[in-house]
Amino acid sequence: MTGLTTFRRDPVATAFAGAFALLPSSAAVIFYSQGFFLGPVTEEFGWSRSQFMGTVTMALIALAVLYPLVGRLGDRFGARRVLVPGILLFGFGMMSLSLVGDNLPLYAVLTILIGMAGVVQSPLLYSMVVAHRAPLRSRGKLIAICTTGVPLGNMAIPPLVVWLIAEFGWRGARVGLGLAILFCALPVALMFMGDARERIKSVSEKTRSAALSVISRRPGVLLLSAIFLSGLALNGFLVSLVPMVTDRGLLPSDAARILVVAAVAGVFGRIGAGWLLDRVQKPQIGVLWYIAGTIGIGLSFYPGGTLVLTIGSICLGLALGAETELGAYYTSRFYDRKHFGEVLGLLSCCYTIGGALGGQMFSVFFDQFGDYVLASIVAAVLVAVSAVLLLALPPYPTLSDDQAH
């Protein structure tokens, strides 16, 4: 029993378990898979595409707003007590969509509630536990391993949904997604996500700033601003990448391959960010990924074919992959662990809202000017501004010996 308990609390095992749990993340289930349900559902009920996607947008906004609250609940009650009921609601809620008929208001309400429950299936609480357990020398790397489950799930969930719809219809696919959530996340939450709260209470961290003062302190203002602006620019560009590719006369299959390349680069972006953050003890190291994002957007102006766009998508994927990792690591270094979830929740909220507004920004620019050139220029400038904000971060607070282990 002692050996099993030690394994369940081991930071490396916790990181890999968290990655497995995040394969059916809220991003993969709510955002990346919705395009495959759009056609079958709207054809069966006669809804417009804007009506269907409107429910998804509302669900994402509800999810974003709840990030700080869920983070605070995790700080107060421990990650497991928040994860388990949230996972159950998310999984069974997804299955319940298979029972909805031609009733758009009911479908919208259920989708919003599912989005609210889905906030637990984000890196927020999983990375919180990893950060609390991991020693300083490997904290960045282990957080990166944990959050890598998100891009891996973004690659795996869409093909799974396509297969489920082909074999069992869209209703069966909803049930399949719900089962995937319960199968991957629930055992991990029960086995690996306990006891972090007790460990936090035993650690004295008087040198850190409190979460409630995050807006008024220099690191908080800089991080919130950088995360919001980069989320708006990078995610807005990513959402618009497919029409950019097809507008150049390339095939949709070319666009799909470019997106896959970006997702794969995102995995390496996270791992690379973790590796460097552990070795370079200066917060300015995060600028490297924003530079990569600026280059990725800039390459979209070059009148080349798939090769140039692929290289640009690699740079974009590296930057997007590091975003979550940077937020979690910076939170663990600048703020008291007792408020880790709340601070990271604020950052996640800003990032998600920024991403939602970014897609809208690119659409507005296209409607006004007939292309994405000006929107891309604005996005590149915003990412560059984010890099400048990270350059202005102060040094990490000095840690005592018990804080570093």
Listed as own residue / partner, the contacts of 142-145 with beta carbons closer than 8 Å and 24 or more positions apart are 142/11, 142/12, 142/14, 142/15, 142/274, 143/15, 143/274, 143/325, 143/328, 143/329, 143/332, 144/270, 144/271, 144/272, 144/273, 144/274, 144/275, 144/325, 145/15, 145/16, 145/18, 145/19, 145/271, 145/274
Q: Domain check: are 180 and 233 in the same one? A: no
Rounded Cα–Cα distance for residues 344 and 331 (Å): 6
The burial of 111, by beta-carbon neighbours within 10 Å (0-12 exposed, 13-18 middle, 19 or more buried), is given as buried
Q: Domain check: are 156 and 237 in the same one? A: no
Q: What's the number of CA atoms in the CB half-sphere (13 Å) around residue 84?
A: 11
Share of the chain above pLDDT 70, in %: 87
Q: Domain check: are 369 and 256 in the same one? A: yes
Q: Are 314 and 261 contacting, i.e. CB atoms less than 8 angstroms apart?
A: yes
In this structure, what token pair is assigned to residue 184? Answer: 């991957």
Rounded Cα–Cα distance for residues 253 and 250 (Å): 8
Rounded Cα–Cα distance for residues 356 and 226 (Å): 16
Angle, CA 261 vertex, CA 50 and CA 33 arms, to 5°: 30
Say what the pLDDT of residue 304 is: 62
Q: Domain check: are 57 and 160 in the same one? A: yes
335 φ, ψ (degrees, to nearest 5): -125, 155
Q: Domain check: are 34 and 122 in the same one? A: yes
Alpha helices (H) along 193-217: 196-201
Q: What is the pLDDT of residues 265-277, one digit of tens each?
A: 878 877 887 788 8
For residue 8, being part of any structural domain is answered with yes
For residue 231, being part of any structural domain is answered with yes
Domain span holding position 119 = 2-200
Q: Domain check: are 273 and 298 in the same one? A: yes
Q: Domain check: are 44 and 145 in the same one? A: yes
Say what the pLDDT of residue 252 is: 61
**CA distance readout (Å), 103 to 34, 45, 50, 59, 393:** 18, 8, 15, 17, 50
Say what the pLDDT of residue 42 is: 81
For residue 21, being part of any structural domain is answered with yes
Q: Are 158 and 32 contacting, i.e. CB atoms less than 8 angstroms apart?
A: yes
Specify the CATH number for the domain of residue 252. Answer: 1.20.1250.20
Q: Domain check: are 357 and 340 in the same one? A: yes
Choosing from 169, 200, 231, the residue where a domain stops is: 200
| Residue 101 CB neighbours (<10 A) | 8
Choosing from 200, 235, 252, the residue where a domain stops is: 200
Domain count within the chain: 2
For residue 303, being part of any structural domain is answered with yes
Say what the pLDDT of residue 5 is: 72
Q: Are 230 and 282 contacting, i.e. CB atoms less than 8 angstroms apart?
A: no
Say what the pLDDT of residue 189 is: 93
Say what the pLDDT of residue 156 is: 83
Rounded Cα–Cα distance for residues 25 and 14 (Å): 17
For residue 132, being part of any structural domain is answered with yes
For residue 236, being part of any structural domain is answered with yes
pLDDT of 162 over the 90 cut: no
Say what the pLDDT of residue 141 is: 85
Q: Domain check: are 48 and 133 in the same one? A: yes
Say what the pLDDT of residue 200 is: 46
Q: Domain check: are 166 and 272 in the same one? A: no
| Residue 20 CB neighbours (<10 A) | 18
What pTM was computed for the model? 0.77
- Map tokens 């949709």 to a residue: 252
Q: Domain check: are 311 and 333 in the same one? A: yes
For residue 398, being part of any structural domain is answered with no
Q: What is the pLDDT of residues 334-370, one digit of tens each?
A: 877 777 777 888 888 888 888 777 777 877 787 788 7
Choosing from 200, 218, 251, the residue where a domain stops is: 200
Q: Domain check: are 195 and 214 in the same one? A: no
Give the mean model confidence (pLDDT) for residues 388-393. Answer: 90
pLDDT band for position 48 (cuts 50, 70, 90): confident
DSSP 3-state percent helix, strand, coil across the chain (nearest 5): 85, 0, 15
Q: Are 295 and 315 contacting, i.e. CB atoms less than 8 angstroms apart?
A: yes
For residue 402, being part of any structural domain is answered with no
Rounded Cα–Cα distance for residues 60 and 120 (Å): 13
